[in-house]
Amino acid sequence: MNRKWIWIAGAATVAGLLQGCGALMVTGAAATAVMVSDRRTTGTYVEDESIEWKVIDRLRDKFPGAHVNSTSYNRRVLLTGEVPSEEAKTKVGDLVRGIANVKDVVNELQVGGASSLASRGSDSLTTSNVKARMVNNGVFSPTHVKVLTEAGTVYLMGLVTQAEGEAAGNIARNTSGVVRVVKVFEYVEK
C-alpha cells in the first residue's frame, strides 16, 4: 500500500513540474516554423533578436519622455516612436549604430511627445489588419514581410523580390487606417 502512495505522490510531483512544458513546446514549434520559412539564416534571425534586446538595454533610462521601438531584420534596425528633440533623435541613432553586428539604422523617430496608449492600440489594430490581408495573397509569403505601425504609418521590412515588395506595399496602402506606407525592404533575386 505504501508503494502505491509513493508512486502517486511521485507522479503528482512530476506532473506539477511539467505543467508549462506543453506551452513551451508549442511556442518552440511555432518559432521553428517561422524560422524555416524565413529567408534569413537561423544565425541572423537569432542575431536580430539579440540586437533588439541590446537596443533596449542601451536606451534604458537615457531619454526620459521618449517612446522608442526598435525592430531588427537582417541586422538592419528600424527606429520608430517619439523623442523630445532632434538631438535625442540623433543620439538614439548613434547609440544603436554602435551596437555590434548592426549593419544599418533607419531612423524614423519623430520629435514630439510620447504617443498615447489609445494611439498605440489603434496602431496594433492596423498592423493586425495589414497582416490579415496579406494571408493568401498569391504573390508572397506573409512570413517574408514584417509589419509594424506607428502613428498610422505602416513600416514594411523583409527580404523580398521587387514584385513581392510592390504587392505588400499595395496591400498595406489599401488597408483601412493606414496614413502612409514606408518600405524598408532589402530586395533579393528570386
The model's pLDDT over 46-99, given as tens digits with 9 standing for 90+, comes to: 999 999 999 999 999 999 989 999 999 999 999 999 999 999 999 999 999 999
Local confidence band at 21 (pLDDT 50, 70, 90 cut-offs)? low
Report the candidate in 117, 106, 130 with the shortest Cα–Cα distance to residue 179: 130
Copy the grid coordinates of residue 105.
Answer: 539604422
User: In the prediction, which pLDDT does 124 show?
Assistant: 96
> Average model confidence (pLDDT) for the chain?
88
The pTM of the full predicted model, rounded to 2 decimals, is: 0.79
CATH architecture label of 117-187 = 2-Layer Sandwich (3.30)
The DSSP bridge pattern shows strands 110-111 and 153-160 to be: unpaired
CATH, domain range 38-111: 3.30.1340.30
CB environment 44-65: b (16+ within 10 A), e (fewer): bbebbeebbebbeeebeeebee
Instruction: Tell me the pLDDT tens digit for each residue of 127-185.
Output: 999 999 999 999 999 999 999 999 999 999 999 999 999 999 999 999 999 999 999 99
Domain boundaries, the chain: 2-36, 38-111, 117-187
Q: Which has the higher per-residue pLDDT, 34 or 103? A: 103
Local confidence band at 14 (pLDDT 50, 70, 90 cut-offs)? low
For range 103-132, the mean pLDDT = 95
Local confidence band at 20 (pLDDT 50, 70, 90 cut-offs)? low
The radius of gyration of the chain from alpha carbons, rounded to an integer in Å, stands at 21
- Rounded to whole angstroms, the Cα distance separating 75 from 65 reads 27
User: In the prediction, which pLDDT does 114 show?
Assistant: 87
Q: Give the CA angle between residues 175, 73, 89 to the nearest 5°.
A: 85
* Maximum alpha-carbon separation in the chain: 76
Neighbouring residues of 95: CB distance < 8 A, sequence distance ≥ 6: 58, 59, 62
Local confidence band at 43 (pLDDT 50, 70, 90 cut-offs)? very high
Q: Which has the higher per-residue pLDDT, 15 or 57? A: 57
The SS3 of residue 64 is coil
